[in-house]
Structure 1
Amino acid sequence: MTDVTLMDFHADWCGPCKTQDPIIEEIEEDYDEVTFEYVDVDEEPDIANEYQVRSIPTIIVKNEEGVVERFVGVTQRDTIEDALSQAGN
């Protein structure tokens, strides 16, 4: 499988992020082969700017070729899993 990374852009004050968090945590438990990176946009604005994150939560799925998929707002598990599988092929 190709190296796949899921980047979760969030902030402590973000209500929808608190809805997204348990979904990401469940996926992380089931996907040992995927790297999970958690980016607090308040603590790491440079990374958020690099990926042009303007709203949170934003989830970016990427592989060695670059960004495969970007989701803005609360995103359901099935949708994220589809992107992970697409990125890994």
Structure 2
Amino acid sequence: MATHAVTSQDFNQVVESNDLVFVDFWATWCGPCRAFGPTFEKASEANPDIYFAKVDIDQNPDLASAAKVQAVPTLMVIKNQQIVFQQAGALRASDLDDLIAQAKELDVNAAAAEEATEQAQ
């Protein structure tokens, strides 16, 4: 299995020790979560260079709250310890593949510098 169950206790360590982390916040009772699960799993197998984490919100409510998760599934992308994407709702496989490609290409430092320049103007 290429996805990893992550808890509140090991979340920070996972984020700190991986350059790119995709996090699926989900719940066992959530139909869309169960539908998105195989898509997320398949993407994880196709992208071994990315850490794919699954967080059960019922088992880790403090982590879900800290991440401001208000609906499941919620997908969060963390690159170089910065949240670069967060959205509720299940993605189609093609949309997830697109997001993975964009995340791999994203230069977080350049994006932060560009945002700082825009805010200064």
Partner residue, 1:37: 53
Letter matched to residue 15 of structure 1:
G
Bigger Cα Rg = 2
1:29-68 CA-to-partner distances (Å, cap 9, x unmatched) read: 1000000111000000111111100000011111015111
Structure-1 separation of matches of 2:92 and 2:86: 13
| Between structures 1 and 2, the one with greater strand share | 1
Identify the match of residue 59 of structure 1 among 75, 86, 90: 75
Q: Is the 8 A contact 1:68 1:83 kept in 2?
A: no
Q: Is the 8 A contact 1:4 1:84 kept in 2?
A: no
Structure-2 separation of matches of 1:68 and 1:78: 19
The offset of 1:7, in angstroms, is: 0.3
Partner residue, 1:47: 63
Gaps of 5+ in 1: none
Q: Is the 8 A contact 1:69 1:83 kept in 2?
A: no
Gaps of 5+ in 2: 1-17, 106-121
What SS does the corresponding residue of 1:6 show, helix, strand or coil?
strand
Partner residue, 2:85: 69
Partner residue, 1:28: 44
Identity of aligned residues (%): 32
Identify the match of residue 5 of structure 1 among 18, 21, 45: 21
Aligned residue pairs total: 88
Structure-2 separation of matches of 1:22 and 1:85: 19
Q: Which has the higher contact order (CA 8 A, sep 6+)?
A: 1
